[in-house]
Amino acid sequence: MKWELFTQLMVNGLIVGMLYGVVAMCFVLIYKSTQVVNFAQGEFLLIGAWVCWAFLVEFQLPFWLGFLLTLGFMMIFGIVLQVVVLRPMIGEPIISVIMLTIGLSITFQALMNWMFGVFAKPFPQVFDTETISIFGLNVQTAYMMSLVISIVIMIAFYYFFKYSKMGLAMRATAFDQQVAQSLGISVKNVFAMAWAISAMVSALAGVVVGMVNGVSQALATIGIKVFPAVILGGLDSIIGAIVGGVLIGVLENLAEYFDSQWLHVGNLYSIAPFYVLIIILMIKPYGLFGTKDIERI
């Protein structure tokens, strides 16, 4: 047992898991408020990261300006997507909605590959990457920064939903659409806002991952990793999304550790979350924090 490697992997798992948690939170936000399962969540990261990359590299803008423009772009993108594509699907059966977001996912992925190429491109240096040592563990500053950003996003989400008017309106809509509407909340706006916020925060996560690993198609795979996380946490629970994300991140690295030490099957890292996913679905389909839906006739 190599403790050093083990703890290092655990810390990596925690950091990656926090990012999964943030993306899972965006996923849950859309699911909870609009009942749409977004298979294109990973593409939001991809688009955000590429757009930010284009602003910084192609147009040579300073980081803060390029970043703000990216957020603005993603907000408009999210709203337009909801209004143009998702709004006609309200009330359609679940398979149509799933297929629609899958269609969006392959369209955007192909579009991004076409526009920017399939190979990873490095992000311009925004923060210096040096390795710092915390409690004897070597952690890159970029990783630390991503951890800090994830936590900040989570706290911001908490305050947004607890105290802001829009956040309360979104919670009310998620609770009961008809009641919310009769109280004067514009459900249309709430739906559009949910997509806008989700797209913005996902883009932020995409930029963070892009800064650490470079921007490439691989970003979209985070959108797939979100599924084990949200199922583990419960599909309609924001807390569950964070817990699920962290657990899946840690589990991935744990699988990596066991694989390299004892099992030697290779590639267990990427496949272990899906085994967990099936097991959870079999024994506890509503996850740790999800609400169990009871059907009444």
Report the C-alpha gap between 193 and 58 in whole angstroms: 30
Contact set for other proteins, span 78-117 (CB under 8 A): 85, 88-89, 92, 94-96, 98-100, 102-111, 113-114
Indicate the helix (H) or strand (E) that contains 140.
strand 137-140
Strands, E assignment, 25-123: none
240: number of Cβ within 10 Å: 25
Token digits of residue 61: 């803008």
- Per-residue contact track with other proteins, 181 to 220, x per CB under 8 A? ----------------------------------------
With left for phi above 0 and alpha for psi between -120 and 50, is residue 264 left, alpha or beta? left
**Applying CB under 8 A, does 152 fall inside the site for other proteins?**
no
**Applying CB under 8 A, does 271 fall inside the site for other proteins?**
yes
Q: What angle do CA 248, 36, 17 make, to 5 degrees?
A: 15
Q: Contact 30/196 with Cβ under 8 angstroms?
A: no
**Applying CB under 8 A, does 148 fall inside the site for other proteins?**
no
Report the C-alpha gap between 204 and 208 in whole angstroms: 6
- Selected binder of other proteins within 17, 228, 233, 244 (CB under 8 A): 228
Please choose, out of 12-20, 123-131, 204-212, 277-285, the segment that lies near other proteins by the rule CB under 8 A.
277-285
Token digits of residue 73: 């772009």
203: number of Cβ within 10 Å: 29
- Selected binder of other proteins within 162, 263, 275, 291 (CB under 8 A): 275
CB of 224 to other proteins, least distance (A): 8
Please choose, out of 21-29, 120-128, 210-218, 264-272, the segment that lies near other proteins by the rule CB under 8 A.
264-272
CB of 295 to other proteins, least distance (A): 7
**Applying CB under 8 A, does 263 fall inside the site for other proteins?**
no
**Nearest alpha-carbon partner for 7 in 175, 196, 257:** 257
| Residues making contact with other proteins (CB under 8 A) | 37, 85, 88-89, 92, 94-96, 98-100, 102-111, 113-114, 224, 227-228, 231, 235, 265-267, 270-271, 274-275, 277-278, 281-282, 285, 295, 297
